[in-house]
Amino acid sequence: MKQLTGFIPIAALPPSTTASAKKQLLEAIEWLQSEGAATETNLKLLTAIVESILWSEESYTRFLQCGFDAAIEFFDINSQNWDFEESISSPHNPRNWDKYKQLQQRRALSQS
C-alpha cells in the first residue's frame, strides 16, 4: 500500500470519492499484491486513478473490466498450448476468479 500511495494517508485520498469506492480500490490493491501483480506500472496506474477527481463507482467498474480484459488476454496467449479442459478449469484463468464473476453479475444486473 505504501508503494502505491507514496505514503499518502488514506484520509488524504480525494474527498470526491465515495467511501465504498475507496474501500473497493484498496481491496483491489491488496488483491493485486497477493496475486503478485502489484508491479510498479500497475501501482502507478492505480495511483493516477486514486488521485483523480473523476473517481466513482462507475470508474471503478470500468477499471476492473479493463484489468480483467487484459488478464484474460494474457492468460489466453500464455495458455494456448494447454489442453482445453486444463485451461478452462485452471485457477489461473481469470474467468474462474470470484472478483471476475462478481463483476459479470453486477454488469448483467445494470444492463437489465
The CB density around residue 33, as the number of other CB atoms within 10 Å, is: 15
Q: What is the pLDDT of residue 88?
A: 92
Give the model's confidence band at 41: pLDDT under 50 very low, under 70 low, under 90 confident, else very high: confident
In order of 11, 46, 76, 82, 88, the CA distances from 55 in angstroms are 15, 11, 30, 39, 34
Pick from 4-13, 21-30, 54-63, 81-90 the range whose average pLDDT is largest: 81-90
Helix 57-78 × helix 19-34 angle, to 10°: 20
pLDDT, tens digit, 9 for 90 and up, residues 70-80: 889 989 998 99
55-79 average pLDDT score: 84
Whether pTM > 0.85 for this model: the answer is: no
Across 29-90, the runs of DSSP E, i.e. the strands, are none
**How many whole angstroms from its chain centre is CA 49?**
12
